[in-house]
Structure 1
Amino acid sequence: MTEPGQLALAPAMSDALARWLEVEAGTRDRSPHTIKAYRDDLVSFLRFLGDYHGTPALPGGLARLKQTDLRAFAAAERARGLGARSLARRQSAVRSFLRWIADREGVDLSAALSTRSPKYRRSLPRPLAPDQARQMLDMAGEAHETPWIAARDAAVLTLLYGCGLRISEGLGLDGRDWPFREALTIRGKGGRERQVPVLPVAHQAVADYLRLCPWPLKADQPLFRGARGGRLNAGIVETTMRRARQAMGLPPTATPHALRHSFATHLLAAGGDLRSIQELLGHASLSTTQVYTGVDDAHLLAVYRAAHPRG
């Protein structure tokens, strides 16, 4: 539904947007979450243009776009309270769409595309110390009065820390994935598959949980069950972590995702190389792994010189 004061998208523009999203989903293997975010970004932009110029935006009419149009959009988004990081992502989606429109319509949009995105400082993740991570897993295994649920929580967190999984990846496992082999095949963001070694301690934690779980293990059913038998919700795992971190006096940054950060950082500290850690995490870019582990540029250069055949 269009909000008051906003012009609806013209049918031609709606069609163009739908086709671009299909291209992004099909050829760039974007996740459904990313496609939804892109749709929201572009709808906000195109409706802004309609209000700004007093007439719905049309694909061919985008040839008249100027830097001032994109700057006005950025100013309007900031006035609505959008942060620099979110605005940068939104403008990146807009530029991708405009480049596609330029090719499709044969128009020159170089003036509009030269607009710079706002700078933002990416906050570094805060991993747990190794002893904190071990204590966190121990506390999770003792925190619930129902033995199978306590074993389940310990198994999930051990898997996140021991394999560096995203919480969605861990909770997305099904009965067919058990018993774990030496490595798990994980399908992560963008549909990218990776092989993740399974430590004996993680294998044993899951085995202990399954031995106590009252629900039968079936190939097409979730591996980790909620109290009523459905797939375990990420919010339950987050609550378990919150209670444990409060008991340990840890900051709010000690979340389930921090266990994934801890996995990467502790591997690096133990002598693991960035490229291998990148593969284990399923990152598309080494720069993402660099930020993830808190590696500075000097360390990255040292790794590069040691690994490069002409170093």
Structure 2
Amino acid sequence: MAGTETDAASTPSPVRARKRLRLVLALALAGAIIAATAVVGVAQRTQVLTAAQVDYDAALTGYTSAQKQASASVAAGADAIAAAQETLDFSAGKVATEDSRTALAAAITDARARLAADTTVIERATAVARTAPAADTSFLSPGSGLDAATRTVASVDLPATDSTPSIADSLVAPQQAVRDAVAAWEAALYTNHVQAVGWLPELDQCVGSVDVTAYYAGIPSIAEHWSCGGKNFPDDAGTIITLTGVHSGLYRVDGIVAMLNSSRDSVADLPGGHDLLYQTCQNGQGATMSFTALTKIG
């Protein structure tokens, strides 16, 4: 009987077996739920991080574009300042009054101060914008580091390039005023009187240049003997001169465009396409007939 009782006690009852089965099923279900929840959590975190990365990349791209524009404007400003300084230096002693040069000098000083300030702003902004985003280690706040970096980049200020005159623009007017003053000064320095239309008799009068267009195949030309004033006529390109009488006006000298020999060249060799030519025989020699081109500017 004792052996029979032991065997009966070690054999699971149907009730006990069902309880064990339910426990196993419950544990399996709980594990499945936890696993599913973990999968969903990872997917959501990935989605949030991806969106945060997209926002950060967009903000950085926008900043980079604006930074390039601001840097280009600053570079153009530096070039403009250098050109304006050259104009100021060149004009020394070549203006009737110093008003225009004083204004240009002040404009250059202001431009340099603005250039320095803009350069500093760009350098600081670049350092801030390029700061690496903090690592996103928070499980509860995925993407928080990227979001913070996005806000930082979006808050960076750069010098305006579309709403205010550029550094280069600020120098245009004062620089042109100095150029005009120099032109007026040069024009006042040299004046040539075109006293008549004719040929050798008028040239021999030695009282000014003579319009010789009719003798030069209709090409607008004036001439003067070397000893009567030809040696003093400016032939440096860019010089501004005043003509009075026939062809009166303000002219820019474009330089010597032809050197002909009267013994072998003819009017067919004359250079065309200029507003006016000034001819004289260098050192009084027909073998060196120089033709200086003039462009009328006023």
Shared fold, TM over 0.5: no
**TM-score, normalised with respect to structure 1:** 0.23
Greater share of strand: 2
Determine which structure has more spread, i.e. the larger CA radius of gyration. Answer: 2
Q: Which has the higher contact order (CA 8 A, sep 6+)?
A: 1
**TM-score, normalised with respect to structure 2:** 0.23
